[in-house]
Amino acid sequence: MNKKTLDIDYIKKILLKKGLTIKKNKKNIIDGNFKSLYLTALCSIFVIIFFYTIPIFLEFKENRNIAKQEITNTSKTNFERVLNGESLEKTSDVDEGLNIKNLFEDIFKFDDLPSDTVRLSAATIEQLFKDTNYNLKNVRETKLVKPIVLSLLPEEMKKIESTKKRKSLFIKIILPLVLEENTRIRLDRKKLFSILNKNKNSDIEKKWLNQKFKEYGVLNKDLSTLKVRMDIVPASLAIAQAAKETGWGTSRFAIEGNALFGQWTWTNEGIKPAGADNDDTHKVMKFKILKSSVRAYQKNLNTHSSYREFRMARAELRDNNVDLDSLILANYLDKYAETGKEYVKILKKIIDQNNLRDFDDAKLQPSSIKLKSII
């Protein structure tokens, strides 16, 4: 017997004949719609949470892997190398390159000053120091230096028979010059950090920064390089180098050209060393006044590529809140002379034997109340 297939319309006809009707259950339809909407929303939330948490999880996993690895602290390593006087590892491109276009503008400006400088005799200078109570014993005790800045060395330096007196006079002449330059750099450095700590700088501050970029030969206005280069040279190290290069102020270069640090030049503006070969084209740079020589020396150590390690070692000491130690920094001046490491040994010996580090924390007595408050 064949079974007839019943569909919904056929059943409806049969029920209608009997007076019955079929009604749809709207409640079930509505419940079904809500259920579908609920599932869609739930899936969406799950997808959002999944894609939000995956990067966090991956970063956490990566950090855990890094934590398990052995990490070398290069900064700490370099600081230890500085304390031991060893070569430094290059960790960045800071203090690279040099723009020499305006590098010596602030030095040559002294050449435009009126040429009425008088060379005082050694006896006159000694009397001046005595009248102002300027002596090294007081400096060591009070850490204050009289602001007596001389322009020229006395011609009689070589004639002073007592080595002790000659050294004392030389130190008393050079010390104020070095401290004056260091004070200028300290004030600039203080202003630099003040500018760096601001969110917005004035046009005057921007102009000042641009000028300093030129003075220190900084490429691409790199502030990190400016911070490394704009710093002082310890007084003891500067005095030791001046003593070594001039024979405590007795050399021809020091008397005739105010050249305290034996810097070379390949221009006509210099003094040719006695006994130099005809093929030698270099001369010793000469200056109109001693102040120019000191500034040129500071500029040389603070910008020349040969002394990059010196500057990086100095920066390491700064970063670790350690006072600048001339005996440590001297290790990085082996390129200053052809004798290399032997030159470094001599510098250290001069510093030690003459107790020059006593002057590293000395300050130039301010000439005004305003300057005193700044220093």
Is the C-alpha dihedral spanning 153, 156, 159, 165 positive or negative?
Answer: negative
**Mean pLDDT, residues 255-276:** 78
pLDDT > 70: what percent of the chain? 70
Three state DSSP letters for 229-247: HCCCCCHHHHHHHHHHHHC
Residue 281 contacts by C-beta under 8 Å, 6 or more apart in sequence?
266
Strands (E), the chain: 144-145, 264-265, 270-271, 283-285, 363-364
Per-residue pLDDT, 113: 58
pLDDT > 90: what percent of the chain? 57
Which of these ranges, 15-24, 97-106, 163-172, 243-252, has the smallest mean pLDDT? 15-24
Per-residue pLDDT, 295: 95
pLDDT confidence band for 111 (50 / 70 / 90): low
Pairwise CA distance, residues 297 & 260, whole Å: 8
Instruction: Give the residue with greater pLDDT, 341 vs 4.
Output: 341
pLDDT digits (tens, 9 = 90+) for 220-235: 999 999 999 999 999 9
Under 8 Å between Cβ of 232 and 185: yes
Number of H helices, E strands in the chain: 16, 5
Q: Taking the C-alpha atoms of 348, 217, 291 and 266 in order, what is their torsion angle to the nearest 10 degrees?
A: 80
Per-residue pLDDT, 370: 44
Q: What share of the chain is helix, strand, coil (3-state, %, to 5)?
A: 60, 5, 35
Per-residue pLDDT, 285: 85
Question: Domain locations in the chain?
Answer: 8-68, 93-374
Per-residue pLDDT, 271: 76
The Cα-based distances of 124 to 150, 154, 155, 164, 169 in angstroms read 12, 9, 12, 18, 12
Instruction: Give the residue with greater pLDDT, 349 vs 18.
Output: 349
Per-residue pLDDT, 115: 61
**Mean pLDDT, residues 38-47:** 67
Q: For all residues of the chain together, what is the average pLDDT?
A: 82
Q: How many CB atoms lie within 10 A of CB 288?
A: 18
Range picked from 19-33, 205-219, 256-270 for highest mean pLDDT? 205-219
- What topology does CATH give the domain 93-374? Lysozyme (1.10.530)
Entry pTM: 0.75
